[in-house]
A = this chain, B = another copy of it.
Amino acid sequence: MSHDLTPTLVSFQAATEGFRAGTDSPRDFLERAIDKLEAAEPTLKAFAALAIPRARIVADGASLRWKEGRPVSRIDGMPIGIKDIIETFDMPMGLGSPTASGFQPVRDAAVVHALRDSGAAIVGKTKTTEFAGSYATDTRNPHDPTRTSGGSSAGSASAVGAGILPVALGTQVIGSTLRPASFCGAFGFKPTLGAINRGGSHDFQSHSCIGVIGASLADIWFTTHEMVQRAGGDPGAMGLIGKAELAAPAKPGKLILLQTPAWDDATASAREQLLATVSTMSAAGVQILSRDNHEGVAKFETALLEVMDLALDIVGYESRWPLKSVAYRDRDGLSPSVLTRIKLSDELGLDGYRALLTRRAAMREAFETLAREADAFITLGATGAAPKGIQWTGNPMFNVPASVLGAPALSLPVYEDEGMPLGLQLMGAQHTDERLFAIANYVMAR
């Protein structure tokens, strides 16, 4: 068996015609994934646990159904990876921390159950940084194993970017889905806050959500839609709004160029590529609003100067549990970065936290007002290529706004920097997820 390890995205949706025709099958698709996994995993270290025997049984059932023209869903038999902070009843839960050693959930997370119900073949748990925070895991970037895959959804981005899996689940509360997707050359989707049910996922912070990393817009949209139809959104939330079909390409009338406080931290090449896209769009008749020509954008860019501190303080306070509970039981199992975070957040206190919530609400209101003036925001997926080394998961500054604002965002693998992938990011008002896919489809078609 020859193993081509060139990282090439592998779409399940592109293969479904073959499943119907009988020239390919989900089982064959899975075996190709397993071959690639076995060849690449010793280098990539993307997986925390595997469930291949069960995945093969599931793929066999789906193979029959596709051939008979009656798949249970668009993702029937699709191999998928689950970030290891999301519970599955059949694999241990590692949380990227030795303190979780031996923890075996007795249930599937809501999305995992929904995926099984959709016929998806769960291949394994993908590695995460410690409690989805900043302390890195040992996962490598498929485009250059001497570099980080980003974090915290490290294994999911690496496995999709390497062409092992068509889709893997992540989570994002700072930049944990979009940044690794950008670094690993995959598509990344961080939906509207509450759009995907987080039950059984250990990302419990108030602006966290489940993210989807995939080989194409179609792979991501169908996976998300199938999950949400079955599991709903977070309790009390409307869930992802949109039709079952992938939105057709739609040229935006107006886009807002968002430079963010990290503009000067982006590489020259990254900035040039984004500005070139903006110029092309402009030439095609898309009106571009930016801080240079629109007062509202300039004002919002200024408001964003505090977005990272706001995010870190809110997430820090909300993460004291379970981290303090873990520290009580097994302090030596926690990284110095977590112990420092606990200390700082304790000093904030409940009144300090309440003040942060008020500031976040004000920032969201300003964002939603500005968002009504255009179809979407356009920015970078990251400051540049994945950093060298695996100790630092990279600068999340371009991803924080969508997190704090509860806004949907997509990272599209269309740029490159230092010979590595780099994403173009689209972001929109809450609940405009579907329109964002339509615009992304337009961008990708060009």
Residues of chain A having any CB pair with chain B under 8 Å? 89, 99-100, 102-103, 106-110, 112-113, 116-117, 197, 199-200, 204-207, 228-229, 231-232, 234-236, 238-239, 317-318, 320-322, 324-326, 328-329, 350, 353-354, 357
A238 lies within 8 A of B354 (CB): yes
Whole-angstrom CA separation of A238 from B358 in the bound complex:
10
- Report A129 CB to chain B, min CB distance, Å: 18
Shortest Cβ distance from A349 into chain B, in angstroms? 8
Determine which residue in A109, A321, A354 has the highest number of CB atoms from chain B within 10 A of its CB, and name it.
A321
> A325 touching B206 by the CB < 8 A rule?
no
Alpha-carbon gap, A324 to B116, bound state (A): 11
| Contacting pair B197 A321 (CB below 8 A) | yes
Q: With contacts A197-B321, A200-B322 known, is A239 near B354, CB below 8 A?
A: yes
| Contact residue among B99, B231, B234, B317 (Cβ-Cβ distance under 8 Å from A232) | B317
The answer to whether A231 and B321 have CB atoms under 8 Å apart is yes
Q: Determine whether the beta carbon of A207 is less than 8 Å from that of B229.
A: no
Q: In whole angstroms, how far apart are the Cα atoms of A229 and B112 in the complex?
A: 35
How far is B149's CA from A102's CA once the two chains are assembled, in angstroms? 37
**Whole-angstrom distance from the CB of A215 to the nearest CB of chain B?**
26
Interfacial chain B residues near A229, Cβ < 8 Å: 350
A-B contact pairs, 10 of them (CB 8 A): A106-B326, A106-B329, A107-B325, A108-B322, A108-B325, A113-B325, A197-B321, A199-B204, A199-B322, A205-B235
Q: Is the CB of B100 within 8 A of A106?
A: yes
Tell me, in angstroms, the Cα distance from A401 to B235 when the chains sit together: 19
- Quick one: given A102-B106, A329-B107, are A236 and B206 in contact (CB under 8 Å)? yes
The closest CB in chain B to the CB of A322 belongs to B107
**Residue A110 contacts which of B199, B206, B322, B328 (CB distance < 8 angstroms)?**
B322
> Which of B106, B235, B321, B354 is A199 in contact with, Cβ under 8 Å?
B321
For the complex formed, measure the closest distance between the CB of A201 and the CB atoms of chain B, giving whole angstroms. 11
Known A206-B235, A235-B318; further 10 A-B contacts with Cβ < 8 A: A99-B106, A103-B106, A106-B326, A107-B326, A109-B321, A113-B322, A113-B328, A231-B321, A232-B353, A236-B357
CB neighbours (8 Å) of A357 from chain B are: 236, 238
Does B350 lie within 8 Å of A232, measured CB to CB? yes
A-B complex: 9 closest residue pairs judged by Cβ atoms: A206-B236, A110-B321, A206-B235, A113-B325, A108-B325, A107-B322, A235-B318, A103-B106, A107-B325
Q: Which residues of B contact A324 (CB under 8 A)?
A: 113, 117
Chain B residues with Cβ under 8 A from A231's Cβ? Answer: 320-321
Alpha-carbon gap, A354 to B354, bound state (A): 29
| CB-defined contacts of A350 to chain B, threshold 8 Å | 228-229, 232, 239
Task: Check A89/B353 contact, CB under 8 A, given A106-B103, A322-B107, A324-B113.
Answer: no
Across-interface contacts of A234 in B (CB, < 8 A): 206
Q: How many angstroms from the CA of A239 to the CA of B205 in the assembled complex?
A: 14
Chain B, residue nearest A110 (CB): B321
Of B89, B228, B353, which one neighbours A325 at CB under 8 angstroms? B89
Asked whether B113 lies within 8 Å of A321 as measured between CB atoms, the reply is yes
Report the minimum CB–CB distance from A295 to chain B (whole Å): 31
Nearest CB in chain B to that of A349: its residue: B229
Task: Give CA–CA (A320, B141) in the complex, Å.
Answer: 38
Alpha-carbon separation in the docked complex, A170 to B390 (Å): 45
User: What's the minimum C-beta distance from A362 to chain B, rounded to whole angstroms?
Assistant: 15
**Residue of B at shortest CB range from A241?**
B354
Q: How far is the CA of A322 from the CA of B89 in the complex (A)?
A: 11
Q: How far is the CA of A100 from the CA of B107 in the complex (A)?
A: 9
Residues on B with beta carbons closer than 8 Å to the beta carbon of A102: 106
